[in-house]
Amino acid sequence: MNRVLIPLTMAQPPTIPADAHIAGLAGASMGTTWSVKLVLPAGIFAEQIQSGVQQRLDQVVSQMSTWLDSSDLSRFNRAQSGSWHVLPEEFFKVLDYACYVAQQSNGAYDPTVGPLVNLWGFGPDGPGSACGDMPTAEDISAALERKGWTRLRLDRLQRRAFQPGGIYVDLSSIAKGYGVDHVAEYLQQQGVQSYLVEVGGELRGYGSKPDGDPWWVALEQPLPSAAEQAGDTAVPAFPPTIVALHELSIATSGDYRRFFDIDGKRYAHTIDPRTGYPVPHALASVAVLHASCMIADALATALTVLGVEEGMQYARQHDIAALFVSRSEAGFEEKMSPACKAMLE
């Protein structure tokens, strides 16, 4: 039997005509896929919305991708030491919030983690361990010397960022979530009153379907490892959880999305900026629910780095709706933050 989460602040969704139909759109961006389900307004064609959604996501890539040499972010990362740079509005907004989460989490989240991401083979600048090579302690120490969000300086009045020299910003842990919000904003500007946006597994919904139901979405469950699949305890001991996505977003961070194994040990793509190593604890996934997918995306990464105990304390302190799933000898175990439990129907 499913568990149901309902947003506590959910307003009455707009009324959708019973004879309206749902259109489905899809494409590719940010090294992954995107999809949109929506109720098309009168006079608006699916092809028009498809083009607009792709343009919005292409804009995020052109500003914030480390994989694109010509992006605004790549140019900032290559910039001369001691230089100030006026950033596009969207880029600045994302970087500003990333630095806020870094400050709030005492560096468990750090947008300047890029050198470590590359070193471990999860970025564009080298094969690293994702191809089977373990970084040396010396390599990790050198990469740690290059990071540090406190070295970034932001000028909010002029929308500028300061490159102190050698700083390599990586916004992969927040840009997808922002892309979802950016698309949702576009849809609302077009008069769309009901939609479900998904980019690489991060989602945001608004309104209801023609039958009156909200956009129901199941929270991602972590995948068991090969060893767990071979045993008898790999199946989660908790029921599936579905969420009514009206004025709500979901972002999930998990060790099963991108990882590699060396000598039977799993190394996930989430790097702890404080140590320079992939997070070592048994946390398999963290799902965060928030009105903003950008915020949910960044918080899911921060809570993954913090782990269950510190992460739960942080979630309580900041009233974050989060679901933690950990691996144990008995299989998967979960813990809900108080804000998440309060949404249970």
pLDDT > 80? residue 123: no
Query: Is 65 within the bounds of a domain?
Result: no
Query: Is 35 within the bounds of a domain?
Result: no
> Of the ranges 21-25, 86-90, 220-224, 303-307, which one carries the lowest mean pLDDT score?
220-224
- Rounded to whole angstroms, what are the CA distances from 37 to 184, 205, 293, 296? 11, 9, 17, 21
- Give the residue-averaged pLDDT of 118-136: 69
pLDDT > 70? residue 1: yes
Query: Is 160 within the bounds of a domain?
Result: yes
Q: Which two tokens stand for residue 195?
A: 């939609």
Q: What is the mean pLDDT of the chain?
A: 88
Query: Is 282 within the bounds of a domain?
Result: no
Q: At what angle do helices 172-189 and 46-64 cross, to 10 degrees?
A: 150
Q: Report the length, in residues, of the chain.
A: 345
Query: Is 117 within the bounds of a domain?
Result: yes
Confidence of residue 2 (pLDDT cuts 50, 70, 90): confident
Q: How does pLDDT run across 287-298, given as a tens digit for each residue? A: 999 999 999 999
Q: How does pLDDT run across 5-63, given as a tens digit for each residue? A: 998 876 788 888 777 889 999 999 999 999 999 999 888 899 999 999 999 999 999 99
Question: What is the extent of the structural domain holding 151?
Answer: 77-172
Is there a contact between 197 and 307 (Cβ–Cβ < 8 Å)? Answer: no
Domain total in the chain: 1
The predicted pLDDT at position 330 comes to 75
- Give the residue-averaged pLDDT of 226-231: 47
Q: Find the helix or strand (DSSP H, E) in which 196 lies.
A: strand 195-199
CATH code (residue 143): 1.10.3980.10
- Give the residue-averaged pLDDT of 69-98: 98
Nearest 10 degrees: Cα torsion 220, 106, 115, 155: 110
pLDDT > 50? residue 226: no
Question: Could you give the CA distance from residue 214 to residue 243 in angstroms, rounded to a whole number?
Answer: 9
DSSP track, 304-332? HHHHHHHHHHHHHHHT-EEEEEEEETTEE
pLDDT > 50? residue 228: no
Query: Is 150 within the bounds of a domain?
Result: yes
Query: Is 120 within the bounds of a domain?
Result: yes
Question: Could you give the CA distance from residue 259 to residue 150 in angstroms, rounded to a whole number?
Answer: 28
Query: Is 267 within the bounds of a domain?
Result: no
pLDDT > 60? residue 234: no
